Amino acid sequence: MLQKTTIDFLKTLKNNNNKEWFDQNRSKYELAKADFTLLVEEVLAFLATIDAGYENLKPKDCLFRLNRDVRFSKNKSHYKKNMGAAFQIGGKKSGRAAFYFHVEPGNHFIGGGLWMPGPDALKKVRQEIDYHFDEFNKIVQQKDFIKVFKQLNQEDALKNPPKGYDAENQAIAFLKLKSFVVGQPLKDTIVTGKDLLPQMKQVFKTMAPFIDFLNRAIAE
């Protein structure tokens, strides 16, 4: 579980997104960061029981910075309004599929997958789904998978089949995707309650075959 003070900090930051306020409240940020880091450590310990590839990961390999890069953005807010962690074998810059946890008042969620992969990785994933559709479909149609996630995120899906694929391809609904991600929203009461870690473990366990499939695809 996360402390209510962590959620309160993010709520207040949203309405005071400037360096002066942040500097005056840095001690509250440090407490929130320590609280979130402790949860990340607990998640990493669990993931190491699923796959030894997570054993050497440290929280710093998973945590995202709160500071925003505003150099090329119209949004000049100095700080993100959320805290996030991506759990990827090799670290968050590895390019592999990830388990993800997002903490943002009113928009908490547990998720994962492969978000907006580059052209080469996207081509590999589509090819893997096409070649091994029965295996992929079994994963995403598994009873617990549907219960937890319902379906893959359809955001930014192509209207037409990608180059090289026929509209009649049995996997076409998935081949049109440009990201391969799933998620489960969470209420504030879950995030600050004793059931958070058990729920994260269950969700990530359900997601694991999906993550493994994607990582196998981009590794080939």
Q: How many domains does the chain have?
A: 1
- Note the pLDDT tens digit of each residue in 133-175: 999 999 999 999 999 999 999 999 999 999 999 999 999 999 9
Instruction: Tell me the CA end-to-end span of the chain in Å, nearest whole number.
Output: 38
For the segment 65-122, what is each residue's pLDDT rounded down to a tens digit? 999 876 666 676 889 999 999 999 999 889 999 999 999 999 999 999 999 999 999 9
Token pair recorded at residue 153? 């995120």
Q: Residue 103 is encoded by which pair of tokens?
A: 């903490």
From residue 216, alpha-carbon distances to 113, 116, 129, 176, 212 in Å are 12, 17, 11, 20, 6
How high does pLDDT run on average in the chain? Answer: 96
Q: Is 213 left (phi over 0), alpha (psi -120 to 50) or beta?
A: alpha
Residue-range definition of the domain harbouring residue 211: 4-219
CB neighbour class for 111 (10 Å; exposed up to 12, middle 13-18, buried from 19):
buried
CATH code where residue 186 lies: 3.30.930
pTM of the model: 0.94
Instruction: Report CA-CA distances (Å) from 168 to 65, 129, 171, 180.
Output: 44, 15, 8, 21
SS percent in the chain: helix, strand, coil, step 5: 50, 15, 40
